[in-house]
Amino acid sequence: MKKMISTAVTALTIVTGLFAQEVQTPKWAAETPEQKKERMAWWQEDRFGMFIHWGLYAVPARHEWVQNYEQIAPDVYREKYFNVFNPDLYDPKAWAAQAKAAGMKYVVLTARHHEGFSLWDTQYSDFKAPNTPAKRDLVKPFVEAVRAEGLKVGFYFSLIDWHHPDFTIDRVHPLRNDQAAIAQNSQKDMGRFRQFLKNQLTELLTNYGKIDLLFFDFSYPGENGKGHEDWDSEGLLELVRKLQPGILVNDRLDLPDKPWGWDYVTPEQFMPKAWPERNGVRVPWETCQTFSGSWGYHRDENTWKSPNQLIAMLIEVVSKGGNLLLNVGPTARGNFDDRATERLDAIGQWMKYNSRAIYGCTAAPEKFEKPDNCLLTYNPTTNRLYVHLLQWPFKTLYLPNYRGKVKYAQFLHDGSEIRYTSRSSAEAGGHTTVTAGENDLIVDLPVVKPRIEIPVIELFLE
Residues of this chain that bind ligand GLC (CB under 6 A): 53, 64-65, 217-218, 268, 288, 295
Amino acid at 207: N
Residue number, 213 or 441, with CB nearest to ligand GLC: 213
**Rounded Cα gap, residues 433 and 416, in angstroms:** 24
Residue 204's alpha-carbon distances to 118, 240, 262, 333, in angstroms, are 11, 10, 19, 24
The 3-state secondary structure of 123-175, one letter per residue:
CCCCCEHHHCCCCCCCHHHHHHHHHHCCCEEEEEEECCCCCCCCCCCCCCCCC
**Rounded Cα gap, residues 87 and 135, in angstroms:** 10
Specify whether the backbone of 289 is left (phi greater than 0), alpha (psi in -120 to 50) or beta: beta
Residue number, 132 or 158, with CB nearest to ligand GLC: 158
The nearest distance, CB 71 to ligand GLC, in angstroms, is 16
Residue number, 69 or 460, with CB nearest to ligand GLC: 69
Q: Which of 415, 419, 274 is nearest to 353 (CA)?
A: 415
**Rounded Cα gap, residues 244 and 252, in angstroms:** 18
Residue number, 213 or 364, with CB nearest to ligand GLC: 213
Q: Give me the DSSP letters along 24-92.
A: PPPGGG---HHHHHHHHHHHHHH-EEEEE--SGGGTTTB-TTHHHHTT--HHHHHHHHGGG---TT--H
Element (H, E) at 4: helix 2-23
Amino acid at 221: P
Residue number, 297 or 402, with CB nearest to ligand GLC: 297
**Rounded Cα gap, residues 16 and 45, in angstroms:** 38
Q: Which of 348, 265, 341 is nearest to 314 (CA)?
A: 348
Residue number, 65 or 167, with CB nearest to ligand GLC: 65
Compute, in degrees rounded to 10, the torsion defined by CA atoms 290, 293, 297, 299: -140
Residue number, 215 or 402, with CB nearest to ligand GLC: 215
The nearest distance, CB 440 to ligand GLC, in angstroms, is 42
The nearest distance, CB 268 to ligand GLC, in angstroms, is 5
Amino acid at 60: P
Residue number, 267 or 450, with CB nearest to ligand GLC: 267
Residue number, 276 or 360, with CB nearest to ligand GLC: 276
Amino acid at 136: R
The nearest distance, CB 55 to ligand GLC, in angstroms, is 10
The nearest distance, CB 53 to ligand GLC, in angstroms, is 6
The nearest distance, CB 296 to ligand GLC, in angstroms, is 7
Residues 6+ away with beta carbon under 8 Å from 224: 170, 171
Residue number, 108 or 374, with CB nearest to ligand GLC: 108
The nearest distance, CB 460 to ligand GLC, in angstroms, is 38
Residue 305's alpha-carbon distances to 102, 293, 344, 375, 453, in angstroms, are 16, 9, 12, 19, 14
Three-state DSSP at 115 gives coil
The nearest distance, CB 431 to ligand GLC, in angstroms, is 56
Residue number, 65 or 231, with CB nearest to ligand GLC: 65
The nearest distance, CB 103 to ligand GLC, in angstroms, is 21
The nearest distance, CB 197 to ligand GLC, in angstroms, is 16
The nearest distance, CB 322 to ligand GLC, in angstroms, is 14
The nearest distance, CB 217 to ligand GLC, in angstroms, is 5
Residue number, 265 or 387, with CB nearest to ligand GLC: 265
Q: Rounded to the nearest 5 degrees, what angle is found at the Cα of 413, between the Cα atoms of 407 and 415? A: 45
**Rounded Cα gap, residues 306 and 313, in angstroms:** 11
**Structural contact between residues 357 and 113, judged by C-beta atoms closer than 8 angstroms:** no
